[in-house]
Amino acid sequence: MEITAKDLATALGGTVEGDPEVKVTSFAKIEHGKPGQLCFYANPKYEHYVYTSKASVLLVNFDFQPKQPVEATLIRVPDAYAAVARLLKLFAGSDNKQRRHRGHCRIACSARIGRRVWVGDFVTVGKHSIVGDRTRIYDNVTIGDGCKIGEDCIIYPGVHVFSGSVIGDRVILHAGCIIGDDGFGNALQPDGSWQKIEHLGNVIIGNDVEVGSNTTIDRAPLESTVIEDGVRIDNLCQIAHNVVVGKNTAMAAQCGIAGSTRIGEGTVLAGQVGVVGHISIAPHTTVCCKSAVIGNVRKEGETLYGCPAIDQKKYLKAYAKFKQSAED
């Protein structure tokens, strides 16, 4: 990567203040910026670094008004955070070699592989599976029979996509995640033993979804576990059978969602949130870290905290009283 401030501004729809011909070759956090690097400023608590950073170029919002002289060339954009996200995606994709590599792979004759698909070593693609155009499949990936993978997907090493799974366009599956394995279904027998319940359904993942490393999404017993469009799931999460995760929901690391739960669109689950099975969470709910949702959430837009999770303000008031009583 080597690009001038002028070309960056053109790509981002921004304006340049300073030397338009200065070149950058890499990215850095604003506190670590060095000559030849591009940084961005979006959080007010980092403003002091704007005046001390040695970076050659800084992305800033249109409305930023510096209080001191700034050495770096500024590129003003509507949203600096969104702009750097676009740049990172652009340059990550610029190194992608569009090639098909089938050495040391096992691809069924009945599988349909799209145009400009990149396939790494030791990849297995099962019978009658479909892989869309421009998808990248890295080493040691297993795709079962009858799967459908959309266009422009990225499937990182060690991912396992079980038979019958349906994955939309522009989906990113990070290393080691498991899509469509059996759910945890067992029936207690009269003698105290457990009888396994077979899972014959599948997993359906919409468009523009990202699933973190070592996350598991279980197949349904009869129908589908559904992850709708635009969902973001962090590393080490567990999505059980028959769950429906509404579009544009975000879920941080180590969340666990029990079976047959419906999560409304735009919901945010912070780290280590647990959700019991067979309940519904209203759209645009926020659940704070380490909370446990044990009943239906019917009101949209609530922020919940605690175990069991209740309205955050009520929880904090109750905790203050609890702490005060413990000190008396």
The pLDDT, as a whole number, for residue 326 is: 74
pLDDT digits (tens, 9 = 90+) for 246-265: 999 999 999 999 999 999 99
Confidence check: pLDDT of 288 > 70: yes
This prediction has a pTM of 0.81
Report d(CA 50, CA 56) in Å as an integer.
11
Residue with more model confidence, 104 or 174: 174
Confidence check: pLDDT of 93 > 90: no
What are the chain's domains? Answer: 3-94 (3.40.1390.10), 218-328 (2.160.10.10)
Catalytic residue annotation = 241
Tokens (6 digits) for 254: 């180590």
Coil vs helix vs strand at 93: helix
How many Cβ atoms from other residues are within 10 Å of residue 63's Cβ? 7
What's at 256, amino acid-wise? G
Cis previous bond, 308, omega within 30: yes
Q: How confident is the model at residue 100 (pLDDT cuts 50, 70, 90)?
A: low
Report d(CA 28, CA 304) in Å as an integer.
35
